[in-house]
């Protein structure tokens, strides 16, 4: 044998070990192939999970034609099992012979309740949804791949029936308002906890303590969101549980719910891959703009493109998955561009016969502009154009009726202002997760997970002298008004947890699944600001500036928790869940011991009762189960809120000490106890499903910043003295009226109600958490009212329009809706064409529009009727608008009811004979994002400064002010599988 042939043999052996099997081994094993279809329509089901003998560590997925291949199976009697979300599980026996291939086709029955689906979120281990007393929503890989969404919160907008997610700004990468089951805190944000492969992610959704502010006194409108830049590639599924009894096992920060993302690890079989390209453009939604000219002055059609690719495969020993994406788009503003890049990989490896390793790594970066909005002052394009402020810059503020020369002059002014803005946000994040499973016997499963999430963001604002001159803030010749502001934030989160699950069968009827575990997480949030003034034009760094300054801040918190849960079921007909979590947290006071969170749940599978089957046949009532649960979850205080501090200030070049934070040794987490009850029904042989639910939640020990006695000379201190209640109804339904080989129609909808109320403030007087000064309008906290209700001067009018009275500090509305939900439809034509749409809605909320108020203040033509003439005549200073506009704040508050279609998508899978050489599946889809919306308000009801005043603070919304709405997008997607 030559040296070349020896090395060739070595490489061949390694390749066979990694990506295949040896010829001898192939002869000693067998193969099962087949096709998975819908039992009613006969259409193929791509993406179904297929495995043998309950070995879910060796899963293959069906391809676009529903076909699968399970190789290297030991000879003998094998049980082939199929799972797919939305269908009942199915299994079939197969006799496998050495070196032989057996065909096993399976047709799955629709099961909209999907009670056989296995979930892990909130359970401490894998368990069937049939045995769970609380709600768990699952978003499948098929839905994720089919969605045109560009970011996680946009994807979840219509896929989580009990949650409301609103993108409050059209600027890329900015924050959204996420809430489920109401607002549980007046001090903390309502965003759920987010896990990726068991590792906690940074979920900041408010302005950072040290961050760019292009919105004036409220920076929330363009705050950088950690959620928006989470990579969306390679996701296997997403599980979501709303805050309440379901989140007990997550302890002291899960009162708002948990989103858990699971990424792909690959599957056994040959290497499979895909390449996807998406192109299109974003165009502004102009139906809410007061002036038609704003579209021509400020916006354009921005071209967007995205390319992504991935491969996956493996053998009995190792599986792998790798994907990446590259995105670039023009802003729908007249200037600005956005860029993003990311990749994610996952790997699975068997460790002997009883162990398994699973690992993942992701990296992503984004680079986006930030435009001035809200109360930024000076040149703020939407304020200048839409609020009539252009008059302050020497232009006619009736911009729809300008002379051609005046319009050209204004257009140059706006173009210069947009071109010379230099505000950008760069983010870079990576996450890694490592999990080892060790199953010493079939009844015991153990695991250990550890991982890291690191996210760096740099926000930079450069104001040049040229910008100051072009926007007429300073005269020509100014050379000392340039500035550079840099804000850097580094978040590092470490997660470690261990757990075990034991399954026991007592006789043939009773089964017990018990989970135990421990968890540690630590979050470090370090921020630095370095700024400079008197900067020369063209400078990109602070070096050489006339004056420089710096500032830093750090937040660190660690949490330690133990949990246990047992699930006891008799014939899977009567099930009881018992759970307990105990936490210690560095933000707790020194006198605060471990916090204990209990949980209990009951499930009655009523459809399995013989007497029920005699009363109603399966043709009418296919299945029904009743469930009830009570559980407690928490929300810990801001880091270091428990410490007593001394504040050191600079005075005359010296250090001066003053009282800092008084400290609170008894500080505890807010505790939210939730009682929920519901029923899940499947009707007409699984053609329809219905979920009915009711919850009532009460937050005890709500964190309130209470003012001290004036005689102490101390500052305010946060304390556990508040009570907040939330209650509501949750309804959801899915109907499949038609399902045959030619037509498939599926309709889905969700309806939720919400009643939120502050029950007790412990003697603390009403206080503002958002909005502006007391002379205008504020978002308030007051006993007997919803969190963040709008308060301001309210004018009561006589029949002739004159003012009867003005009620100071009056209730004007609330930003949270009474009713909200979503709906959608999917229509299949044949086996290749699918048309789908999704939408959501809300009713019963209000918001205040400063744009409308300023148009009146600045005398924009057409606004005379905003305030009755008789009322204006009563105003001081000869009927001055300036003297009355803040006295009639109720006139600027409107209902924000809306119905918004989020997506319309047409997807077509090309016939095999038309596929390019080397490809197995090619799909083309055309999507329109935000195609249509109805709203009761004169302004965009979603363009909402959510107005969190500090990092992590409550963000409830209610303010519309010079902010971009989300654009409408037209996207063409081509996806090639190979």
Q: What pLDDT score was predicted for residue 946?
A: 65
Q: Return d(Cα 20, Cα 447) in angstroms, integer.
A: 28
- Average predicted confidence (pLDDT) for the chain: 89
33 CA to centre of own chain: 39
Q: Where are the alpha helices (DSSP H) in 838-899?
A: 850-857, 869-874, 876-879
Residue 714: burial class (beta carbons within 10 Å; 0-12, 13-18, 19+):
middle
Q: How far apart are CA 777 and CA 771, in angstroms?
A: 6
- Which sign, positive or negative, has the C-alpha torsion 47, 49, 50, 56? positive
Number of other residues whose CB lies within 10 A of the CB of residue 741: 12
The gap from C-alpha 708 to its chain's centroid, in whole angstroms, comes to 38
**295 closest CA partner among 428, 389, 418, 386:** 386
Contact 784, 952 (CB under 8 A): no
Check whether 363 has a pLDDT greater than 70.
yes
Poorest-confidence range of 217-226, 347-356, 443-452? 217-226
- Band of residue 394 on the pLDDT scale cut at 50, 70, 90: very high
List CB contacts of 433: < 8 A, sequence separation 6 or more: 196, 197, 198, 199, 358, 359, 360, 361, 449, 450, 451
> pLDDT tens, 510-524?
999 999 999 999 999
| Cα 583–Cα 584–Cα 586 angle in degrees, nearest 5 | 140
pLDDT of residue 878: 75
C-alpha distances (whole Å) from 146 to each of 275, 336, 405, 967 are: 14, 28, 48, 20
pLDDT of amino acid 218: 54
What's the pLDDT at 445?
93
This prediction's pTM: 0.90
The helix/strand/coil state of 258 is strand
Pairwise CA distance, residues 252 & 561, whole Å? 9
Cα separation, 97 vs 113, in Å, equals 37
Please report which residue ranges of 455-548 form alpha helices under DSSP H: 465-470
pLDDT above 90: percentage of residues in the chain: 62
Is pLDDT larger for residue 695 or for residue 686? 695
Tokens coding 359: 């690992």
288, 934 Cβ separation under 8 angstroms = no
pLDDT tens digit sequence for 622-665? 889 999 999 999 999 999 988 988 888 887 888 888 878 888 99
The whole-number average pLDDT for the span 920-942 is 93
**Residue 469: helix, strand or coil by DSSP?**
helix
Q: Per the structure block, which two tokens stand in for 155?
A: 């994807």
Q: How far apart are CA 838 and CA 822, in angstroms?
A: 8
- Encode pLDDT of 146-169 as tens digits: 888 888 899 999 999 999 998 888
pLDDT at 11 over 80: no
Q: Please enumerate in sequence order all residues whose Cβ is within 8 A of that of 103, keeping only pairs 6 or more positions apart, or say none.
A: 32, 33, 34
The more confident residue out of 616 and 301 is 301
Choose from 37-41, 87-91, 175-179, 886-890 the range with maximum mean pLDDT: 886-890
**d(Cα 383, Cα 376) in Å, to the nearest integer?**
9
Max Cα-Cα span within the chain: 108
* Helix segments in 346-482, DSSP class H: 381-386, 404-420, 465-470
Tens digit of pLDDT for each residue in 864-922? 999 999 999 988 877 899 999 999 999 999 999 999 999 999 999 988 777 777 778 88
Give tens-digit pLDDT for 193-241. 999 999 999 988 888 889 887 776 555 557 788 888 888 888 989 999 9
Q: What is residue 23's predicted lDDT score, i.e. its pLDDT?
A: 43
Degrees to nearest 5, angle at CA 768 with 766 and 771: 150
**pLDDT at site 142:** 83
Write the CA distances from 921 to 63, 611, 709, integer angstroms. Answer: 8, 49, 72
Greater model confidence, 116 or 87? 87
- Does residue 674 surpass a pLDDT of 70? yes
Query: Which pLDDT score is estimated for 91?
Result: 86
**E strands, 586-687, where?**
595-604, 621-635, 646-651, 654-659, 670-683
- List 359's β-bridge partners, or say none: 347, 434
Strand partners, 193: 258
Paired tokens of 136: 């768990």
Place of tokens 């409050």: 168
- Model confidence at 599: pLDDT above 90: yes
Six token digits for residue 328: 């670039």
pLDDT tens digits along 467-524 = 999 999 999 999 999 999 999 999 999 999 999 999 999 988 999 999 999 999 999 9
Q: Is the Cα torsion angle 191, 195, 196, 200 positive or negative in sign?
A: positive
Predicted confidence at residue 903, as pLDDT, reads 96
Q: Per-residue pLDDT tens for 531-559?
A: 999 999 999 999 989 999 999 999 999 99
pLDDT given at position 271: 86
Smallest CA-to-CA distance from 486 within 434, 526, 540 is with 540
Residue 29 confidence class, pLDDT cut points 50, 70, 90: confident
- Judge whether 779 and 947 are in contact, CB under 8 Å: yes
Which two tokens mark 844? 């019963």
Helices (H), 605-722: 610-615
Q: Decide which of 51 and 493 is more confident.
A: 493
Query: Who's near 447: CB < 8 A, 6+ residues apart?
Result: 435, 436, 437, 438, 498, 499, 500
Cα–Cα separations (whole angstroms), residue 284 to 152, 279, 654, 806: 21, 17, 53, 39
């Amino acid at each position: 044998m030559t040296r070349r042939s020896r090395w060739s043999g070595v490489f061949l052996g390694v390749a066979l070990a990694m990506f295949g099997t040896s010829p001898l081994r192939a002869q000693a094993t067998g193969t099962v192939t087949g096709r998975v279809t819908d039992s009613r329509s006969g259409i193929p089901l791509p993406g179904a999970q297929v495995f043998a003998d309950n070995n879910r560590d060796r899963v293959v997925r069906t391809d676009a034609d529903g076909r699968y291949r399970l190789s290297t199976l030991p000879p003998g009697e094998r049980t082939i099992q199929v799972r797919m979300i939305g269908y009942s599980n199915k299994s079939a026996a197969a006799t496998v012979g050495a070196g032989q291939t057996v065909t096993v086709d399976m047709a799955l029955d629709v099961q909209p309740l999907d009670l056989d689906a296995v979930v892990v979120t909130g359970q401490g281990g894998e368990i069937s949804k049939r045995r769970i007393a609380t709600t768990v929503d699952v978003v499948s890989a098929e839905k994720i791949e089919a969605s045109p969404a560009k970011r996680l919160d946009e994807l979840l907008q219509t896929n989580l029936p009990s949650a409301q997610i609103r993108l409050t700004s059209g600027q890329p990468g900015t924050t959204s308002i996420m809430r489920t089951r109401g607002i549980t805190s007046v001090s903390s944000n309502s965003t759920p906890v987010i896990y990726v492969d068991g590792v906690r992610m940074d979920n900041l959704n408010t302005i950072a303590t040290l961050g760019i502010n292009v919105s004036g006194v409220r920076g929330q409108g363009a705050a950088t969101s950690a959620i928006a830049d989470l990579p969306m590639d390679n996701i296997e599924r997403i599980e979501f549980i709303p805050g309440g009894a379901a989140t007990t096992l997550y302890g002291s920060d899960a009162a708002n719910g948990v989103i858990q993302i699971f990424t792909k690890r690959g599957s056994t079989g040959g290497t499979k891959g895909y390449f996807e390209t998406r192109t299109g453009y974003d165009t502004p939604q102009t139906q809410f703009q007061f002036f038609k000219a704003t579209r021509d002055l400020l916006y354009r059609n921005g071209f967007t493109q995205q390319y992504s690719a991935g491969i996956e495969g493996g053998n009995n020993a190792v599986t792998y998955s790798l994907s990446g994406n590259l995105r670039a788009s023009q802003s729908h503003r007249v200037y600005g561009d956005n860029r993003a890049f990311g990749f994610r990989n996952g790997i699975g490896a068997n460790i002997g016969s009883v162990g398994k390793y699973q690992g993942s790594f992701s990296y992503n970066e984004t680079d986006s502009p930030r435009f001035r909005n809200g109360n930024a002052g000076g040149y703020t394009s939407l304020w200048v154009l839409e609020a009539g402020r252009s008059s302050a810059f020497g232009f006619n503020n009736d911009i729809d009726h300008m002379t051609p020369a005046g319009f050209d002059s204004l257009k140059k002014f706006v173009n210069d202002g947009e071109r010379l803005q230099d505000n950008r946000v760069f983010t870079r994040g990576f996450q890694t997760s490592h999990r080892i499973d060790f199953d010493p016997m079939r009844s015991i499963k153990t695991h250990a997970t550890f991982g890291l999430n690191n996210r760096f963001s740099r926000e930079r604002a450069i104001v040049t002298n040229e910008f100051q001159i072009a926007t007429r803030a300073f005269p020509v010749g100014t050379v000392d008004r340039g500035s550079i502001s840099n804000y850097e934030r580094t978040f590092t989160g470490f997660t470690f947890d261990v757990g075990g699950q034991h399954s026991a069968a007592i006789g043939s009827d009773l089964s017990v699944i018990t989970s135990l575990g421990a968890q540690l997480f630590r979050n470090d949030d370090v921020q630095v600001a370095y700024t400079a003034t008197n900067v020369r034009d063209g400078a990109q760094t602070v070096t050489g500036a006339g004056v420089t300054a710096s500032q830093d801040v750090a937040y660190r918190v660690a949490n330690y928790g133990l949990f246990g849960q047992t699930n006891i079921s008799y014939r899977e007909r009567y099930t009881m869940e018992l759970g307990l979590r105990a936490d210690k947290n560095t933000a707790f006071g020194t006198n605060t011991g471990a916090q204990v969170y209990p949980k209990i749940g009951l499930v009655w599978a009523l459809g399995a009762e013989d007497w029920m089957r005699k009363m109603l046949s399966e043709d009418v009532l296919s299945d029904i189960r009743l469930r009830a649960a009570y559980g407690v979850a928490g929300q810990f205080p801001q880091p270091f809120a428990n410490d007593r501090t001394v504040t050191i200030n600079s005075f005359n070049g010296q250090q001066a000490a003053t009282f800092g934070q008084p400290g609170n040794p008894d500080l505890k987490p807010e505790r939210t106890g939730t009682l929920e009850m519901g029923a899940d029904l499947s009707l007409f042989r699984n053609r329809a499903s219905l979920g009915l639910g009711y919850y009532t939640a009460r937050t005890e020990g709500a964190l309130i910043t209470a003012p001290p006695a004036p005689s102490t000379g101390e500052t305010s201190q946060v304390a556990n003295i508040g009570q907040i209640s939330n209650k509501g109804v949750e309804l959801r339904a899915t109907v499949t009226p038609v399902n045959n080989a030619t037509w498939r129609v599926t309709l889905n909808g969700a309806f939720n109600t919400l009643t939120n109320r502050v029950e007790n403030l412990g003697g603390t007087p009403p206080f503002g958490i958002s909005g502006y000064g007391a002379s205008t309008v504020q978002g308030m906290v007051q006993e007997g009212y919803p969190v963040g209700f709008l308060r301001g001067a309210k004018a009561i009018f006589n029949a002739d329009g004159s003012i009867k009275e003005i009620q100071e500090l009056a209730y004007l509305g609330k930003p949270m809706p009474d009713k909200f939900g979503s709906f959608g439809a999917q229509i299949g034509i044949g086996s290749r064409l699918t048309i789908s749409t999704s939408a959501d809605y809300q009713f019963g909320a209000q918001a205040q529009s400063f744009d409308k108020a300023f148009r009146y203040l600045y005398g924009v033509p057409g606004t005379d009727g905003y305030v009755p003439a008789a009322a204006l005549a009563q105003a001081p200073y000869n009927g001055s608008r300036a003297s009355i506009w803040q006295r009639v704040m109720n006139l600027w508050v409107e209902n924000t009811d809306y119905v918004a279609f989020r997506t319309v998508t047409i997807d077509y899978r090309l016939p095999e004979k038309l596929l390019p050489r080397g490809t197995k599946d090619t799909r083309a889809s055309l999507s329109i994002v935000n195609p249509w919306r109805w709203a009761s308000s004169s302004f965009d009801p979603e363009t909402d400064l959510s107005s969190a005043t500090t990092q992590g603070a409550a963000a409830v919304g209610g303010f519309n002010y010079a902010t971009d709405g989300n654009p409408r997008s037209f996207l063409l997607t081509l996806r090639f599988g190979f």
